[in-house]
Structure 1
């Protein structure tokens, strides 16, 4: 192959991509002039193919000679069947562009046979997981335990967003901040737990800075465009925080709640703001009952707190997302919120298993296109 372009091939499910995959790709990128990575999940799996491709392209953007292509592979998996091998390899060849392959890189037992069928040499990379003790199977079983092996976009996908909503001066900010601090004390994957501030307060501050002398919060003018901005900025802040935090992200309100605030100020919620709403893992509603109203100069809705709590109850009941209402003293509210977060984590991520080999005794992590 002296003087010729060396083409490397990697095939896997990347369900999900993790540090072992990235080391495999980086190894191939250093050894080859061109690398084709075929991402070949089955349609029964829970993470969309488009997401996996986007994540891999982002992480390996500094290696433009590495190309990522995707193909769904629902063919039966049978190591003892030449016909099964031929079917899988036909899909991989079509995805790779029907060009010659010089080296096949893998961390799996099937790598040698895959390379032989491509007329290439097999390059095993950390097959015993001694350097990167992680696999897709392990991540799916316990994302929290393997958090350190996940890249920012993958973490963002796995992050459970917990949103605190409520009327003015009901402790949403205090609770979001306290929950994040409580989880950080657990260290490990939770050491980077953070919370997302309410962009509406930021925009209120900016608007108040433009008021004339003697004017106050009651003189502020809110427009439909303002609430679209709040929803957009809130979503963007959440997405950014989810990439670098822990398995739970605490949010002080969200774009769903923005629609209720728009209704409070303008009489109705616009479709644009409603369309911006997300579906977090859990809502925590802070009741106004038993919480004194504190006027910090940016609040003017003491008389509307009961109405807003009622609107939140009604909208949350109809949105299809799990939610609980927090009542009583602050310590009780915080303790109930912590339990709710723990219950959320205990339910896990419920990811579908990949297709299994015909021989059920074969480790599901060593199937064609498996966890490599």
Structure 2
């Protein structure tokens, strides 16, 4: 048995950073159930509720997470969400109403790293008609280690202060597609070097080599899942270059087995900020793993048809690697907002 049945943490989490994670992990150690509530009025640019919910759930799936938008509070009859500049008691009573009317919980402890937690616990105690303890975690020293304001000023510069799953939401992700022997892997490496970032290699090739060229149906889903995991846990710089995507894996599943796992079909909907399709204007080269010129043509047409049907804009690059690199760099927005 842990010390508390239910604990509570409230914050904007814009973004979720190391200081928040220390506090949350400390609460999880002593609570059977941890409720995390996040809201902000106004919303801070680049940190919409859906984005905050996504990275909170990714980092703390064992917690009960509520990320609230202003319109939801009104729809639930809890009253207008207090402005960020409202007095402390307005926020305390708002959270108490959320716990009682929407979450149907009465936490025994509230966890903070601030003095204001004492007053917060007092209001909750009054509203719940039972004692709520304030558990304060001492802040660790270190410039910027706990400052959301500092991280928001340049999330790329301070990306080491947030988890990869958080930073991934602020990276411009570039997906390179192309049939066999269209130079996409070479282009991916060159593009990553030009952008001073990372390129995620094609896991499907690794799996094919592990299986000595004999993939089974279940391999395809695992290939897509591993590809996404590598993207999500990478430590890129502003951009992430992805040599292929689950859309490619979907093609091979259909081509090899005539069907695809529904989970793979869902992963094939993965969003990328820029999609590049390499032309098949390179001479076909057989390296022992490729199926042939006609298969490449079939794959190329499938990409064009599938991207078009899915309404996914794509850049079709041609020519040498240097020419393709120039086409991509000219296509990218000149100044991608840090937290757009």
Fold conserved between structures, TM > 0.5: yes
Q: Report deviation, 1:331.
A: 0.6
Distance 2:271 2:333 in 1: 18
Residue 346 of structure 1: aligned partner: 336
Distance 1:166 1:115 in 2: 58
Distance 2:13 2:316 in 1: 39
Q: Report deviation, 1:144.
A: 2.0
Residue 274 of structure 2: aligned partner: 282
Q: Report deviation, 1:161.
A: 3.4
Q: Is 2:292 the partner of 1:301?
A: yes
| Bigger relative contact order, structure 1 or 2 (CA pairs below 8 A, ≥6 apart) | 1
Unaligned runs of 5+ in 2: 74-79, 126-132
Residue 246 of structure 2: aligned partner: 255
What is the RMSD computed on CA atoms of the aligned residues?
Answer: 4.1
Q: Is 2:95 the partner of 1:88?
A: yes
Change (3 A) 1:275 1:152: closer
Residue 120 of structure 2: aligned partner: 114
TM-score normalised by L of structure 2 = 0.71
1:184-222 C-alpha deviation (Å, 9 max, x unpaired): xx4xxx4xx2412240564267344x7xxxxxxxxxxx8
Distance 1:274 1:37 in 2: 33
* Equivalent residues in 2 for 1:1-372, closer than 5 Å: 9-25=8-24, 36-41=34-39, 45-47=49-51, 49=53, 51-57=55-61, 69-70=65-66, 72=68, 74=73, 75-77=80-82, 79-80=86-87, 85-92=92-99, 97-101=105-109, 104-107=111-114, 111=117, 113-118=119-124, 123=136, 125-126=138-139, 130=143, 132-135=145-148, 139=151, 142-183=154-195, 186=196, 190=197, 193-200=198-205, 202-203=207-208, 206-208=211-213, 226=217, 229-246=219-236, 247-262=238-253, 270=260, 272=262, 274-277=265-268, 278-289=270-281, 291-340=282-331, 342-343=332-333, 346-350=336-340
Contact 2:9/2:111 (<8 A) preserved: yes
Q: Report deviation, 1:56.
A: 2.9
Distance 1:93 1:206 in 2: 55
Change (3 A) 1:336 1:348: farther
Contact 1:160/1:248 (<8 A) preserved: yes
TM-score normalised by L of structure 1 = 0.66
User: Between Structure 1 and Structure 2, how many residues are aligned?
Assistant: 310
